[in-house]
Amino acid sequence: MELSTCKITRAENKRIKKCIINVILWFLGRGIQSCTRFDKNVKREIQVYDEGFKIMLKVWNSEQSVMVEKKGERLYYIKTKDDKEADITIYFKSIEAALLLLTGQIGIAQGYAEHRILLKGDIILAMPFIRMINIVEAYLFPKFWVKRILKSFPDRSSNSLIVYIGLILGV
């Protein structure tokens, strides 16, 4: 009996989506770094982390990632793709899940509720980071947008312009 086969069509080229994610992750990493300089609420949240503590955000089974490391009283964006170095890694389950969260279509609480993310490491230690991400989003996205995706608008002690300047200059 002859088995019928199907033509395997070319898999969707996700190059553009991956590029978008890389850009946003760069902004996010630098945004975290900037917020840890200018926002006292963020500084308070990250006090719990030891020197050298590393947290990574990564697309599962893919290379798109960003890592931050605690040095002194701040988190610094560092260039590495190796999730084995991280103390906590938050994975987006897919490129599409990453886009939903990183483009601000849904907040991280909803991302968690929708099983869009995995987490390797101590969930208790991840919670301050998650609260911090909410604050960073409150700086990087317009206020009306943040109110749409977060449960409540977080307290901010600085303003978006300063954070963006810090982000661009890499301070």
Partner 1 sequence: MIPSYYEFQSSVKVISGKNALENVPFELNNLNAKKPIILTNEVLVKYGQVQIVVNALNASNIDIGPIFVDIPQDSSVKVVNEIADLYRQEKCDSIIAIGGGSVIDTAKGVNVVVSKNTDDLMDYMGLEIINGRLKPFIVIPSTSGTGSEATLVAVIANPEKNVKMEFISYNVLPDVAVLDPRMTLSLPPRITASTGMDALSHSIEAYTCLQKNPLSDAYAFASIELIRDNLFSAVQNGKDEIVRLSMANASLMAGIAFSNSMVGIVHAIGHACGAISHVPHGDAMTILLPHGMEFNKAKISEQYSKLLLPLAGPEVYSKTPDNERAQKTIDTVKDMSKRLEDICGLPTRLRDAGVKKENFDKIAKTAINDGASIVNPVEVTYDDVMIILDRAY
Stretch that binds partner 1, among 11-19, 30-38, 71-79, 126-134 (CB under 8 A): 126-134
Q: Is 25 in the site for partner 1 (CB under 8 A)?
A: no
Piece of 17-25, 73-81, 127-135, 140-148 that binds partner 1 (CB under 8 A):
127-135
Tokens (6 digits) for 148: 């749409």
Binding track over 94-113 against partner 1, x by CB under 8 A? --------------xxx-xx
Selected from 11, 12, 115, 144, the binder of partner 1 by CB under 8 A is 115
Among 114, 159, 165, 171, binds partner 1 (CB under 8 A): 114
End-to-end CA distance of the chain, in Å? 68
The vertex-136 CA angle with 40 and 150, nearest 5°, equals 115
Q: Closest separation between CB of residue 78 and partner 1, Å?
A: 21
Sequential DSSP letters for 35-86: HHHH-HHHHHHGGGSPTT-EEEEEETTSS-EEEEEEETTEEEEE----GGG-
- 164 counts as binding partner 1 under rule CB under 8 A: no
Which of 23, 118, 165, 171 is the binder for partner 1 (CB under 8 A)? 118
Q: What is the largest CA-CA distance in the chain?
A: 73
**Cα distance between residue 2 and residue 63, in whole Å:** 41
Instruction: List residues near partner 1 by CB under 8 A.
Output: 108-110, 112-128, 130-131, 150-152
